[in-house]
Structure 1
Amino acid sequence: MAAPVFVGRDPEVGRLRAMARAAAAGAGAAVLVEGEPGIGKTSLLDAAAEECGRLGMRVCRGAAEDLEQRLPFSAIGACLGLLVVTADPAQAKVARLLRGEGALALTVAAANHQLAVTEAILDLVDAWCAAGPVAVLVDDVQWADPASLVVLHRLGRGIEEYPLLVAVAARPTGRAEAAGLLRSLRSRGADLVELTALPDDAVTALVTERLGAPPGPRLARLADGAGGHPFYLTELLAALQREGRIRVTGGSAELTPGVDGAGMPRSLLDMVVRRLAFLPRKERETLRQAAVLGRAIDVPELAAVLDMPVMALSEVMFAALDAGVVVDAGPHLEFRHALIRQALSDGVPEQMRTALHLRAGQVLTASGAPVERVAEHLVAGTTLDAATLDWLVSSADELITRAPGAAVRLLRRALAAVADDRAAELRFHLVRALIWESSLPEAEWEAREAIGRDPDPQRRGALYWLLMDALFRQGRQAEAVQVATVALAAADLPAADVGRFHGFCAKCRFFLRQHEAAASAAALAIEHGTRADDGYAVGLGRLVQGGLRFVEGDVVRGLALSEQAIADLGHSVLPDMPAGQSVLRGYCLLQLDRLDEAERVLADALESNQRYGGPYLTLVHALRAQLRFLTGAWDDARAEIEAGLEYPDPLGDEPWLRGLGRLIAIHRGEPQPGATIVAQGQGGSAEAQYVYLDTWARVLQEEPARAKHSLDLLYPFWEHASALEHLPHRVMYHLCPDLARLAATAGDRERAAALVAKTEELAAAQPALSLTATALLCRGLAEDDADLLLSAAASYRDCGWRLYQAQADEDAAVALAARGDLDLARAALTRALDLYTAMDASRDIFRADARLRRLGVRRGRQGPRKRPKHGWDALTQTEHRVALLVASGMSNPDIAARLFLSRRTVQSHVSSILAKLGVHSRVELAVSAHQRTGPASGPAQA
């Protein structure tokens, strides 16, 4: 039996119990338990689990396995019960996703699928936390797979807001991934419990508890030799008792005469080996074979592997239970300690180990076991027989999604051993597996090899497609086009694929900014897709056409084509290139001031990209942040920015998010590091279209006296907006109001006139109130016409652009004051200040006050009431709704679904709400809401 952790560990146990109580009360925490093998980490987690159970928490307990380090989500899946059959619909849904059912129909990249699985797991834990406190306890994290480490890292973010305890135990590790998790949790305030040697008094107490009497002098000296290591000391005492070397007399336990400890093992592992030596040989050999196959022992399964009657194996296991070698772990047995299993398996020769793994893989294959369990043994085995090869081919889809590393290794091993008639099919699956795990250069090489050898035209067409995708994902669009050209020239390319290859070409050429060629390829995709009745090819062609119209500035036509593409594509999602049709539609609606429609479309785009792990998540959050920036909902915009920055950014949209965040901070007068001045034309291709945001942010901080310098820096971005690496004038016109102000202040009539001409041209060509308002504003500033500026403010009001409305009113107030209409100027100033105050735009408030004061216009004696910084009145409308939904007991995923937000955006809102209300957890938030409004009656009240 294991040493009781309470002996000598009272401070550590007390810390974990206190953290469990805090988590149960709503203030979550993370704790790291570190120490060498056998020092008591598992026993400490046992104590934490017991306390959490006593507190009524949902306890999720698991341990990472050294054999499963390459199996995605194996550690966290076992901990959360996602690897076993469950009656819980929410758990079952995540389990299906974890198994990768149908994943290859949605994406060919593991990163996309793993993002979707991670989000689903976090949603599940979030929902559990909404129902009650939760404890996630994971042992042996040093062996955890990278995907599980990512989930644990994400659980640690904002944990203090949840009724959640995350406790992980690990040996001191050199693994970069595991060490990274520990650093991450520590940086976020996780508690560190370092288990070291027991002090002398604890050693004495442990001996006393185990033997029923305190140690005598000679036994005490021998116990001191254990170095305060509880597991070693426990094994030492057990060995001495087993060998009859301890006698309890006169109220103390002492070594028998003639025993002095000489010959006792000096290492922990040797001590374990000594314990095992007392088992009968047959039992010891059986346990050694079991140890090779892993920590857990499924008796019927092991009996099949060893070709041994279940009853005979059961007798061995009963003896092992009695000897303390294995323990009952519920649905299975497992070795009591990793060191016991290590001592047993180390005694098995390598040839026998590989034979055992191969036999286990064959047995599990025949029994229909999960593919990942089969694969872990086959990988550790040697040759693959014909039946195993058949299994490998038939299970390829599931194996690739569930255990891609194992799939690659097994497919390579199979290819080295089979004849040519089977090699083509195996190589095809190898290419898919390599792309799935993002080994793209290898996938490219294998695909080129396979294309030259595969006699099947259908499979060869699929290989061309996979090769194009591997090149596209490496940013080598021009080479992808070359491959598509070769494929299209092949006489045996299936007719149904022709339209899709043209569509792929069109998209590549669009990203290469070869707009003419992209248009031709898109037309061919539509032509061939229509002929083959292939909605995907037609939809992809129309989507590229819509993108081309958008970058040319014809947003209306871009919207129409994106809507046609959505109809053509239906609900299909092709695994190689997520189309992102809803993203383009949402972008167009935003540019046309159809903000409510844009909100709904972007909410759908967010949900679908989260579900499939799509590449457009950062872009969708950027568009949603842009919408909220324009409407003055800046706290909500910041929540979108924070959420968007947490996702991978394959399309290079992060600079947009950071630029919007910087603009909000500057308008609010928050200290900002000097923004980088970037000349027009600089910046990498991925971020070139957003590079102007840095210069814009810097210009906003310049003094009016430097208006000409600021205009010289910023104007070239507008002047050259139609260049291929930039957004078109039709999309960049939100820059014009500040340019027009700089031109007016600097007295640059030429640029002011150019701005007027271009914005009026755009407004005449495209129906959008914000364009009309911008044209009015530019002319009003150029001509110092207060009436035009007031009209601009009214138009901005009607289209919902609150910051621009306030700035136009401010400009109108200046023009009115200059012509002597002080009452009208004061009214316009008041409107502007009211809007600035609602947005907390303190820099704009200061500037407007200063400009008008110089002209003899002051706001009323009291002026607009300052926006509260703290308390319920400081919450935005969205934050208020989120707060009430949290108080009613809804989880973040449920709130996200209700309000058409992402779970991460809701989490950002919750953090902001807690800070404004001065509370620290969702429980305290619920109490505050109760005190303010009375008991929550449920979500409907939000």
Structure 2
Amino acid sequence: MPLLERDSALASLAEYARQASAGEGRIVLVGGEAGVGKTALVEAFTAGRPKVVWGMCDGLFTPRPLGPLFDIAGQIGLDVAAVSRDELFAAALRALAGVDILVIEDLHWADEATVDLVRFLGRRLRGTLAILTYRDDALTPGDPLRVALGDLGTQRATRRIGLAPLSEPSVRALAEDRGVDPAELFRLTGGNPYLVSELLRDDSGGVPASARDAVLARAAQLPQTARLVLDVAALIGTRVDPRLLTGATRAAPEALDDLVASGLLIGDGTVLRFRHELARLAIAQAVPPHRTRPAHAAVLAALQRLGSSDDASMAHHAEAAGDAEAALHHAVRAARTAAGLRSHREAAAQYRRAVRADGDDPALLDALAVELSMIDAWAEVAEAAERARVLWRAAGNGLREGNALRVRASAWVSLCRGGDALTDLEAALAVLEPLGPTEELARAYAQLAKHRALADRNAEAIDLARRAQAIAAPLGRHDLLSDTLNTEAAARLMLGEAWIPLMRRALSVAIEHGHDEEAGRAYTNLYGLLCRARRFPEAEPVYREAIAYCDEHDVDTYGTCLRGERAASLARMGRWAEALALCRIVLTRVEEASPINRIYALYVHATIRARKDEPDVWAALDEAAESADGSGEPQWIIKARLGRAEAYWLAGKLSDARAEAELADDACARADGWLRGWVATWLARTGSDRPARGALAEPFALEIAGDFAGAAGAWEALGCPYDGALALLGASDEDSARRALQVFADLGATAAVRVARQRLRDLGARSVPVGPRTATRANSHGLTRREQQVLDLVAEGLTNAEIAARLVLSVKTVDHHVSAVLAKLGVASRTEAVGKTR
């Protein structure tokens, strides 16, 4: 079938190839629905070009880690002998230096290690055009590939090509003189090129009800022997080694020739492949059940005779063949290989398979729980840990029983079941402490230390962390040492003691000894605790270093936590558009698997939208409160409850706001001055008669003392305009209320503007500004009046300091306005911003 409506895409690929050959490097993401012609486009573009290598992701239930890399290894002279993943990635980058075009197909089936490889190459390729095809209709919101594509999309080297189905005129042109009703053909296929071609190839005289019928109709024309071989090929996968196929079927070469002649399979170097995955699925699903198991058994036997090292494939075929012993053997080997490559989803899938084969081996359940924890599957972690605990207890192995309790406790924390976590940790210690100073005991102490710190029981947290350190150090467990130094540092901060040197040491220990997860946690806490104290200038370089480390080392859990902390900090600094964008990323990444990691993003997202008077904020606030209460952690309870208090207050529901503020107060007895101050101001703002608890951070202390101008000045100095405006509203003079109203208007805080206008009326103001709401809506880019003023002065060539002087603002406030303008316009520089609005 001719390649229609793809001239623009081909021209784009040619231009990107030219740019890559100039040394820039290009990653091109080619997306579209199944059958839209991604492969046909790439084949047409690469035809006749030298130095092109192809790899393909498996369509098997549990793909082989790094399948595409192993596909191209022989083509680029890459030695894939047993080396670490990092060394393999570096070697692949070197080997690709001599390649003009790298193609990786069907990235939607990529295992985690392949996704990591793509991200690794995306940051480093030079002189090579990498074309990555994927189904954009096959990705769930939290799919790791969707996250990776989002990360790749922010890089300079990345370009996107989206392929749409054919238009009705093109389908009509293809159907001309074919005896097919073109309107009906377009209706049945939606313009999908593959479906169109399959239906047009069918010569049965009518239009089949579906492409599946068209594929099966073509298969039915094969000789009986070739038809049986085709069934086995479909069960093997999209790419088929002819040796494996003939070994499994004992077929003569002529049978393979018949398959190629039919067009169902095509030659692709040394392998055969189905022209399209839809065709393979149609064949595989039509294999009668009574023949499926023997066919898988034959494939497994052939793999074994060939000396295959592909444990993932052998585990798949062994399980499908009902061979539990072989499934167990190969699944465990495949899981260990995947885990070593940090392909944790595939490792978890293989351990699930191993457990299905032998559910009475607690060691398998332990290993499964570890891998599940890496992919945020905490409900499954709890289930696996409980099954392991029962089996270890029956076996009389106290060490492993205690460890299983600790693992289940970690699941309860992530699932916001803090009470259950504490129960399990106490039970673990009851089992482990009589057994002496073991690694298992140290890990239980370390986890209980975190639990105590998060409950604001900081002296106990320090004691437990020190106990864990005393055991971990002689054992050489640097991961545990880093983890407990981290916890101790956070606890000392809460007690008002020096903490940064300890946190820096936790970070250096983790980095020096290659413990990426612990380094990610140290970076996250260092950044988050600096931001908690509104030390934003110090925190900024930490964030840049931290997010680069987490992305570089694929520490996704803490990369997500960092982005959540960043969103909260941006919100405090008045950079709301950026904060909302980050919240959306975090909530997409976490979805529903880890409720604890959603709370902050839910709170920030909902409160900003409440301030902007946008609808539908309560579902997020309800979820945040439910998860926070379940966690039992004061910091989350305070954030969630004060978010609700503010939303009620903005809506004029003072009694509801007061009740939420008092719930936050119930949780803040042991909190630090920042959280206590935050609660105290909302108690006062909502008319509660409860007094402030203990010493408060300076801006809050000033406000509670009635120095509203001083509080606003302190907030301004810290770079927190919204908090400063809230403080001004407490004053009894009209000028303060007007200043607050202006800040709210500049931020686009429509609901807060309404509150400020009511405050002016209460003060007896003769004229109350209507506010910039209409003007902001009229602005085609959604800029507030102040943001447009700032942009106009940027266009005049003024620096931020000069703009500040012109508008009688602080330089920091202008910085925030400029950042907000860039975010709303979706540009990266002042020059781009000016150009986009001219």
What letter matches 2:272 in structure 1?
A: L
Secondary structure of the 2:301 match is: helix
Shift of 1:629: 2.6
User: CA–CA distance in 1 between the matches of 2:88 and 2:530?
Assistant: 38
User: CA–CA distance in 1 between the matches of 2:749 and 2:196?
Assistant: 61
After superposition, residues 627-706 of structure 1 pair within 5 angstroms as: 627-648=569-590, 650=594, 652-668=596-612, 670=614, 684-686=629-631, 688-702=637-651
Q: Alignment partner for residue 541 of structure 2, among 587, 590, 600?
A: 600
User: CA–CA distance in 1 between the matches of 2:43 and 2:490?
Assistant: 58
Secondary structure of the 1:205 match is: coil
User: CA–CA distance in 1 between the matches of 2:328 and 2:657?
Assistant: 69
1:136 aligns with 2:141: no
What letter matches 1:355 in structure 2?
A: A
User: CA–CA distance in 2 between the matches of 1:347 and 1:673?
Assistant: 50
**Aligned match of 1:473:** 411
User: CA–CA distance in 2 between the matches of 1:778 and 1:910?
Assistant: 31
Shift of 1:20: 8.0
User: CA–CA distance in 1 between the matches of 2:565 and 2:475?
Assistant: 35
Q: Alignment partner for residue 772 of structure 1, among 687, 698, 716?
A: 698
Q: Is the 2:521–2:558 contact (alpha carbons within 8 Å) kept by the matching residues of 1?
A: yes
Q: Alignment partner for residue 712 of structure 2, among 793, 797, 803?
A: 793
User: CA–CA distance in 2 between the matches of 1:326 and 1:837?
Assistant: 64
Q: Alignment partner for residue 361 of structure 1, among 291, 303, 320?
A: 303
Shift of 1:595: 1.6
**Aligned match of 2:184:** none
Measured at CA, do residues 433 and 450 of structure 1 come closer, stay the same or move farther in structure 2, by a change above 3 Å?
A: farther
User: CA–CA distance in 2 between the matches of 1:132 and 1:910?
Assistant: 33
Measured at CA, do residues 674 and 722 of structure 1 come closer, stay the same or move farther in structure 2, by a change above 3 Å?
A: closer
Aligned residue pairs total 726
What letter matches 1:713 in structure 2?
A: A
Q: Is the 1:499–1:526 contact (alpha carbons within 8 Å) kept by the matching residues of 2?
A: yes
Q: Alignment partner for residue 762 of structure 1, among 695, 711, 717?
A: 695
1:275 aligns with 2:249: no
Shift of 1:327: 1.7
Q: Alignment partner for residue 268 of structure 2, among 329, 353, 357?
A: 329
Secondary structure of the 1:762 match is: coil
Q: Is the 1:582–1:601 contact (alpha carbons within 8 Å) kept by the matching residues of 2?
A: yes
Measured at CA, do residues 636 and 869 of structure 1 come closer, stay the same or move farther in structure 2, by a change above 3 Å?
A: farther
User: CA–CA distance in 2 between the matches of 1:391 and 1:636?
Assistant: 47
Shift of 1:779: 1.9
User: CA–CA distance in 2 between the matches of 1:873 and 1:677?
Assistant: 27
Q: Alignment partner for residue 587 of structure 1, among 520, 528, 553?
A: 528
CA deviations over 1:412-463 (Å, ceiling 9, x no partner): 54789xxxxxx787676566567678543552355236535779x8xx8467
What letter matches 1:473 in structure 2?
A: A
After superposition, residues 179-190 of structure 1 pair within 5 angstroms as: none
Shift of 1:31: 4.8
User: CA–CA distance in 2 between the matches of 1:563 and 1:774?
Assistant: 29
What letter matches 1:165 in structure 2?
A: I
Measured at CA, do residues 573 and 856 of structure 1 come closer, stay the same or move farther in structure 2, by a change above 3 Å?
A: same
**Aligned match of 2:239:** 296
Q: Is the 2:583–2:605 contact (alpha carbons within 8 Å) kept by the matching residues of 1?
A: yes
Q: Is the 1:837–1:845 contact (alpha carbons within 8 Å) kept by the matching residues of 2?
A: yes
After superposition, residues 485-524 of structure 1 pair within 5 angstroms as: 485=429, 487-489=431-433, 491=435, 495-508=438-451, 518=461, 520-524=463-467
Measured at CA, do residues 911 and 490 of structure 1 come closer, stay the same or move farther in structure 2, by a change above 3 Å?
A: same
**Aligned match of 1:205:** 178
User: CA–CA distance in 1 between the matches of 2:202 and 2:384?
Assistant: 51
What letter matches 2:717 in structure 1?
A: D
Secondary structure of the 2:178 match is: helix
After superposition, residues 212-361 of structure 1 pair within 5 angstroms as: 231=198, 234=201, 236=203, 271-272=217-218, 274-277=220-223, 290=233, 292-302=235-245, 313=253, 317-318=256-257, 320-322=259-261, 324=263, 326-335=265-274, 337-338=279-280, 342=284, 349=291, 352-361=294-303
Shift of 1:515: 6.7
Secondary structure of the 2:161 match is: strand
CA deviations over 1:104-124 (Å, ceiling 9, x no partner): xxxxxxxxx988975775786
Measured at CA, do residues 564 and 832 of structure 1 come closer, stay the same or move farther in structure 2, by a change above 3 Å?
A: same
Secondary structure of the 2:318 match is: helix
Secondary structure of the 2:266 match is: strand
The structure with more radius of gyration: 1
User: CA–CA distance in 2 between the matches of 1:681 and 1:638?
Assistant: 19
User: CA–CA distance in 1 between the matches of 2:727 and 2:455?
Assistant: 39
**Aligned match of 1:528:** 471
Shift of 1:639: 2.7
Shift of 1:487: 4.7
Shift of 1:236: 4.4
User: CA–CA distance in 2 between the matches of 1:61 and 1:913?
Assistant: 39
User: CA–CA distance in 2 between the matches of 1:811 and 1:795?
Assistant: 15
Shift of 1:235: 5.7
User: CA–CA distance in 2 between the matches of 1:797 and 1:148?
Assistant: 38
User: CA–CA distance in 2 between the matches of 1:50 and 1:579?
Assistant: 41
**Aligned match of 2:96:** none
Q: Is the 1:69–1:146 contact (alpha carbons within 8 Å) kept by the matching residues of 2?
A: no
**Aligned match of 1:260:** none
What stretches of structure 2 of length at least 5 have no aligned partner? Answer: 17-27, 91-109, 181-194, 206-211, 414-419, 796-817
User: CA–CA distance in 1 between the matches of 2:820 and 2:7?
Assistant: 26
User: CA–CA distance in 1 between the matches of 2:557 and 2:9?
Assistant: 38
Q: Is the 2:681–2:703 contact (alpha carbons within 8 Å) kept by the matching residues of 1?
A: yes
Shift of 1:598: 2.2
User: CA–CA distance in 2 between the matches of 1:115 and 1:518?
Assistant: 35
Q: Is the 2:428–2:444 contact (alpha carbons within 8 Å) kept by the matching residues of 1?
A: yes
Q: Is the 1:789–1:809 contact (alpha carbons within 8 Å) kept by the matching residues of 2?
A: yes
Shift of 1:362: 1.5
User: CA–CA distance in 2 between the matches of 1:160 and 1:433?
Assistant: 29
Secondary structure of the 1:136 match is: strand
Q: Alignment partner for residue 747 of structure 2, among 812, 824, 839?
A: 839
CA deviations over 1:633-686 (Å, ceiling 9, x no partner): 2333223323322221625253433333343344445567679999x9987323
After superposition, residues 166-181 of structure 1 pair within 5 angstroms as: 166=162
Q: Is the 2:410–2:421 contact (alpha carbons within 8 Å) kept by the matching residues of 1?
A: yes
Measured at CA, do residues 587 and 844 of structure 1 come closer, stay the same or move farther in structure 2, by a change above 3 Å?
A: same
Q: Taking CA–CA contacts closer than 8 Å with sequence separation of 6 or more, which of the two structures ends up with the larger relative contact order?
A: 1
Secondary structure of the 1:645 match is: helix
Q: Alignment partner for residue 380 of structure 1, among 320, 335, 342?
A: 320
Secondary structure of the 1:327 match is: strand
User: CA–CA distance in 1 between the matches of 2:122 and 2:754?
Assistant: 46
User: CA–CA distance in 1 between the matches of 2:621 and 2:178?
Assistant: 68
1:70 aligns with 2:70: no
Shift of 1:396: 4.6
Measured at CA, do residues 29 and 537 of structure 1 come closer, stay the same or move farther in structure 2, by a change above 3 Å?
A: closer
**Aligned match of 1:245:** none
Shift of 1:69: 2.5
User: CA–CA distance in 1 between the matches of 2:120 and 2:821?
Assistant: 20
Measured at CA, do residues 834 and 234 of structure 1 come closer, stay the same or move farther in structure 2, by a change above 3 Å?
A: closer
**Aligned match of 1:733:** 677
**Aligned match of 2:724:** 805
**Aligned match of 2:160:** 164
Shift of 1:147: 11
Shift of 1:469: 1.3
Q: Is the 2:485–2:502 contact (alpha carbons within 8 Å) kept by the matching residues of 1?
A: yes
Q: Is the 1:667–1:841 contact (alpha carbons within 8 Å) kept by the matching residues of 2?
A: yes
1:444 aligns with 2:363: no
Structure 1 length as normaliser, TM-score? Answer: 0.60
User: CA–CA distance in 2 between the matches of 1:830 and 1:837?
Assistant: 10
Measured at CA, do residues 631 and 474 of structure 1 come closer, stay the same or move farther in structure 2, by a change above 3 Å?
A: closer
Secondary structure of the 1:165 match is: strand
Shift of 1:916: 3.6
Identity %: 16
